[in-house]
Structure 1
Amino acid sequence: MKILVLGSGGREHALSKKLAESPLCSKVYVCPGNVGTMLEHKCQDVELEDIEDIIGFAKTEGIDLAVVGPEKYLMLGAVDEFRENGIKIFGPSKKASLLEGSKAYAKEFMKRYGVKTASYEVFEEFEKAKEYIGKVKYPIVIKADGLAQGKGVVICSSKDEAEDTLFSFMVEDLFKGSGKRVVIEEYLEGVEASIICITDGKTIKPFISAKDHKRLMDNDKGPNTGGMGVVAPNRYVTDDVFEEFKEDIMKRTLLGISEENLDYKGFIYFGIMITKEGPYLLEYNVRFGDPEAQAILPLLKSDLVELILKTLNGRLDECELKWIDGASCNVVLASSGYPVSPILGDEIFGLQSIKDVDVFISGVKLENGRFYTNGGRVLSLTAIGETLELARKKVYNEIEKIKFEGMHYRRDI
């Protein structure tokens, strides 16, 4: 099969590598791809980003299956357009993608189907939101309704902080329309977990749990980022927590997808908070997380291409997910200045000396055989071990071989 992956980040590198491992796959094209996918076995980058151009390429090349990586293509309706052109594609429809594209829509969906989540209110007028924050107990969480590149969620510990956040979202329009409507939620205390599932709209199956590390600095200090590293499985997702998640969150979400006839054949990401009262749902993403993909996919023993094909044919119930018996640790290496204003163009040394771990590229440029930083999150390394401690030891040993000016990474993943 010829497979097409849409996207250009570390997640797409991980997806492409896993798809290429399948004996069902002869070639993986990645649009637009990156240096990592360009160098990966069986993979080839195609410098296209516009959906119409990508569809034209898929038709000309005779693509058998397309897989969507990032949310932007899903929100633009790539799945709907590919299907209208007779091309098999894996991912939710534009309508179903609202579960990530609108925080307010997602919270209302959760409420309709009894998904366990924090209490909330939705506001479209600054003055009404300002009045509301004068009556609540702190801390609270303020979320921009639309996509905001991972920066649209703020935990506010005081009324002044909440008012400043509302002003920047709703009046100053920090996110170019995405924060004009806001969700104000109660603050939940606990430990976060990521559980990615796959669904064909009738059946839903969870992947191995993971723990993302969003803050820039060790001990969860500093600003939020797109993610500085992941471990899988998440030790806080005990058997009891997992069962509660399946009953109170996962199955109720599937009920909603079915009841509302959402055309959903793809990955669905559940960001949960494990509290003293059990797991609560924080948010949906309608695709694999990044860098969760880089930690979870290397542990997957099942054939990903076969799994996707069964899902698209409505036969996910026939699949059994198989995993390597062990743990993975993924650590992200970032540029100086990330996440506010990353410095680009520094040469990266030592990549060719890395052994026994996976290297996933996010923001790297290749010129005259040399590698240079070309993004905030530059690359990440994933090691697998019989235990998490062995995986951590392996990945941090290999990180010491890589050098570039201003290289930053957390040492406590």
Structure 2
Amino acid sequence: MNWVGIADDLRRHWYLYAAMPFFASAIGWFTKLVAVEMLYRPLEFKGIPPYLGWQGLIPRYSARMATMAVDLMLSRLLDPQEIIDRIDPAELAAHVQEPMLETVEGIVHELMMRHQPGLWELLPDQVRHFLIRRMQGDAPQLIAQMMDDLKENVDLVFDLRTMAIDALMRDKALTVRLMRDLATPELRFMVRSGLVFGFVLGLVQAIVWALTHSTLIMPLFGAFVGYFTDWLALQMIFRPIYPKRYLGVFTWHGLFHKRRDEVALDYGELVAAEILTPANIIHAMMTGPQSDRLFSLIDHEIQRAMDQQLGPAKPIVEFAFGSSLNAMKHDLVNTVRERLPESTEQIERYTMEALDVTGLIIEKMKLMTNEEYENLLRPAFKQDEWKIVLVGAVLGFLVGELQVAVLLH
């Protein structure tokens, strides 16, 4: 080994050797940045289908990830019965009473003018007002009774799993945001770690180049830097599960596990704001696959309430109204079905406070095992992380070839 020649080369090309660690650091940073963006972008496939192009891993497998996330959520964090049980029927009725009273008055007047206009016009004002007030007085009790029935039949009328998956599948960007928001600090660490890991490996690269001057050194080291730093950064995010001391010098705890309390808060807030919202729950109950059962329950309660209102006078009323009474009952049910979606704003305000999805998730996440907790995020990386690492290696190899061109020319 010609140490004199090596020393002379170092003296004449010191600036190139000094640049190598920084070049390797840039490779480490760049490959991490590309790897992170490959997780999320683009939302739709770009290129020539089916293989010549790319779609972000999370959008591409959004159905799988949404299903995994929701199944974990429901198996360990949320129970439909527990959610519905948080709603107090009497409180709900009190919150919707004011708009409900106006709705009842409009419906009664509309139906009577449609089915018995002559009779309704002949009634004195005080009698009409009495009938409307009677109906208004029973409306809160009707809502409370319907909620009690709903609690007893929640599994029959509310498919929480389908609702949550649909919420994620309707908008791929929501699935991306769910994963990105949970992992922002970890992804930031991953990108920045490339600078440090790359710099250290660049020092080794400079020594090997000085000893060999082989044109294979730069691309091979570039590939190794891209591959190894991607792999190591991913491992440091999730491992070790518990704090562990290394070489008796420093302690490391997987970043995602270390931030557990913070992640629980972020996850709870995001699920409450984007997925298990009162609007989504109400929409799912009214339009989902179980909506027919919900409206059957509503029909039953309205029919029962009307029969209770008539009481002993039912035969007389049926005689006076004739066939129009049954038509009026069906019309009332249909009118309530149509007006119900318009009357959910007050329901949403109360249920947002009553459900407290954020607090419920934080409470339940404390009971999760570390392995279950890790599955909130790891599926976004695990199955396809080899692709991220491989792309890092390929990019590192290409940048290494660029280094050779610079060094030789």
TM-score using structure 1 length: 0.23
Q: Which has the larger radius of gyration?
A: 2
TM-score using structure 2 length: 0.23
- Structure having the higher helix fraction is 2
Task: Point out which structure has higher relative CO (alpha carbons under 8 A, 6+ apart).
Answer: 2
